[in-house]
Chain A
Amino acid sequence: MIDFHTYPVMVKELTDADEVLAQNIHEVLGFHFPSQPLDCFLRELDEAGVEKAVILPLDCSTAHHCRIVSNEQIADLTNATSRLIGFASVDPRQAEAPAQLHHAIRQLGLGGLNLDPAVQRFYPNDPDSAYPVYQACAELDIPVLVQCGMSWAPGSLAKYAQPLLLEEAVQAFPSVNFIVGHFGWPWVLEAAMLAVRYPNVYLDTAILYSGTPKDVYRHVMAEQLGLDVMERSLYHKVLFGSNYPRIDIRRSVRGLRALGLSPAAEKAVLGENASRLLKIVRSK
């Protein structure tokens, strides 16, 4: 199993060494719980039965004057354990973003890009800021995870995060795999439309708004979409992502398993789809 959506914002080794980072985690992302040793994160993966996790940083230099975990810190964590797959983040509002992304992938060895338009405050269909970053993704042959829908980060604005804003970019960069984070909630049907319609669009299951993972997955995937749609048209386009540490990974896995997907679809969502995307990265 692979968890495609985690944040290393609770890792004590990082926050103890960087007080400014700890403050930004509180103020910008709204996380207010004590840090725990990296080993605790790995034990959480063990208990959930998850082999590997994608860890995500966020560069919000323009909007909030900070990077919430730098690309270098992500690389340090991935060098410490092979179970973590590091993504990079750059701020599309900064002119040097494409060059920074090249550095993060080629020099630091990271495997994808994380963008969060609601927090970084840019429109993902902006040709001036976003497109040069997508172009860099195409050149580097890496996937881009775009956080869509509602964000719990204080000060985030959902107007930047509507999944449909991605459609033109998806068409303009057909070689780039776009992952719509949070299943685009509450714009679930828009997000699903993109994933059904375009071969280079994926969805992740980091959906958190109310209730347990079991409640939420049932509501979104079984009731709003329908398991028949999942089985026929989306099973190969959905990636398991917990959004840890906003929620525990154990209950997220159990919620996904309780959906009632066929064994083949469940296996695809819990790991095979992510492996396929990440193997593309590894094969560069």
Chain B
Amino acid sequence: MKSIVNRVEVATNHEIELINITPHVVDLVNASGIQNGTVFVLSLHTTTAITVNEGLPDLEADITSMIQDLVPEEKTYRHSLFLPSDGQMGVNAPSHLRGALLGFQVFFPIQDGKMVTGSRQTIYYVELDGPQHRTYVVQILGE
């Protein structure tokens, strides 16, 4: 079994932003030579998310509104204090909690060299505390 790990860097522009990374993941799968296996997509950050949905701007706006409603910026959070381990104020609890709700990874099967997805499924890298310079991992595992 082969394991191919790709690190992909992305520069985000907004505090909350859904970035369609599907074409890039598909390209990596196609280039891997793996015929049967699994592709895992993971974010390396705790104030981001990886999610799957239909690739429509109105749904992107609805997802943004949903996470802002579920985890409002104005609520009082314990995570509002100085963090000596960072040298920064930790005041981004909403970003962390929104990431926890959306999740940090997705996976798809690979069959006959192709990623198996539904026709409407779009993989989003979700920035929740941007703008920042981010990294996600695409691991392709199989034969």
A residues in contact (CB < 8 Å) with B: 29-33, 36-37, 39-40, 43-44, 46-47, 152, 208-215, 245-248, 250-251, 254
Contact = CB atoms under 8 A, between A and B. Distances in A.
Interface string B70-89: 00011000001110111111
Interface in B74-131: 74, 80-82, 84-89, 91-92, 129-131
Contact of A211 (B11, B13, B80, B88): B80
12 contacts: A29-B87, A30-B84, A31-B87, A36-B132, A37-B133, A40-B132, A47-B15, A47-B131, A211-B91, A212-B80, A213-B91, A248-B129
A248 B47 CA distance: 13
A247 B87 contact: no
A152 B82 contact: yes
B131 A43 contact: yes
Contact of A33 (B80, B86, B91): B86
A244 to B, nearest CB: 10
B131 A40 contact: yes
Given A208-B82, A248-B92, A43 B13 contact: yes
B127 to A, nearest CB: 10
Given A31-B86, A37-B11, 18 more contacts: A29-B87, A32-B85, A32-B86, A32-B87, A33-B87, A36-B132, A40-B131, A40-B132, A43-B13, A43-B131, A46-B13, A46-B131, A47-B15, A152-B87, A210-B82, A248-B129, A250-B15, A251-B91
Most B CB atoms within 10 A — which of A30, A212, A246, A251?
Answer: A212
Nearest to B85: A32
A210 B131 contact: no
Contacts of A36: 132-133
B14 A47 contact: yes
B87 A47 contact: no
Interface string B3-40: 00000000111110000000000000000000000000
Contact of A47 (B80, B86, B91, B130): B130
Nearest to B81: A210
Nearest to B90: A247
Nearest to B17: A47
B51 to A, nearest CB: 21
Query: Chain B binding site: helix, strand, loop or mixed by DSSP?
Result: loop
Contacts of B87: 29-33, 152, 246
Contacts of B80: 210-212, 215
Nearest to A30: B87
A251 B95 CA distance: 12
Contacts of B81: 210-211
A43 B133 CA distance: 10
Contacts of B88: 31, 33, 245-247
Nearest to B131: A43
Nearest to A39: B11
B13 to A, nearest CB: 6
Nearest to A37: B133
A143 B54 CA distance: 54
Given A39-B11, A47-B13, A208-B82, A246 B132 contact: no
Contacts of A248: 91-92, 129
A218 to B, nearest CB: 12
Nearest to B93: A212
A44 B131 CA distance: 6
Contacts of A215: 80
Nearest to A29: B87
A43 B91 contact: no
A210 B130 CA distance: 22
A254 B86 CA distance: 23
